[in-house]
Amino acid sequence: MAYYWFKAFHLIGVVVWFAGLFYLVRLFVYHAEAATETEPAQAILKAQYEIMEKRLYNIITTPGMIVTVAMAIGLISTEPEILKSGWLHIKLSFVALLLLYHFYCGRIMKKLEKGECNWTGQQFRALNEAPTLLLVVIVLLAVFKNQLPLDLTTWLIVALVVLMAVTIQLYAKKRRKDQEKLRQNTPQKEEVATR
């Protein structure tokens, strides 16, 4: 019975952790883009994003990570022979990368707060693709274990994930260009209105 409790809370932890990671870096995008705003909007937005980032990281994302890792240890304790499985070693390597990503996001958050981070919104959007790729690999390894299919279907799924990432980047680029056009046209409209 302990195995099922560990597994249930492990899955809950994974969902919470990934939700937090996805949203945290999205907040970084908005935080970086707030630098293009004029005062006092810039200061207000940056202060608000700092509060949101801290709360998300400390109250949701990090506890989600802790629950995930603790329940994984519990799962392994119920069947320690699983540690001999090659697929688990590969999965744990990707989880280690995810942990590094998590703490790297915490470091970025502190740099944004101090005004020491020069990343653009576009760079943060690209960074936000990393947990998606890690999630796909980790879930596939957890489901298929040693039977991970490397056939056409798998490559189609990989291609779909890459296509989604590229589409998101292209959409963000288009949106940024549209905003630049809007900013360029706004002063012209104000001049016409004052005449």
Question: 193 by DSSP, 3-state: which?
Answer: helix
Handedness of CA 23, 25, 30, 34 (dihedral sign): positive
Q: How many CB atoms lie within 10 A of CB 49?
A: 21
**What is the rounded distance in angstroms from the CA atom of residue 20 to the CA atom of residue 144?**
26
Question: Known binder of ligand: residue 84?
Answer: no
**What is the rounded distance in angstroms from the CA atom of residue 170 to the CA atom of residue 127?**
15
**What is the rounded distance in angstroms from the CA atom of residue 193 to the CA atom of residue 64?**
53
Instruction: Judge contact between 24 and 57, C-beta under 8 A.
Output: yes
Show the tokens assigned to 3: 């195995």
From residue 146, how far is each of 39, 82, 120, 140 by CA, in Å?
Answer: 56, 12, 40, 10
Nearest to 69 by CA among 130, 14, 133: 14
Measured in residues, the chain has a length of 195
Show the tokens assigned to 117: 């981070």
Question: Known binder of ligand: residue 91?
Answer: yes
Instruction: Report the binding-site residues for heme.
Output: 10, 91
Instruction: Report the binding-site residues.
Output: 10, 91
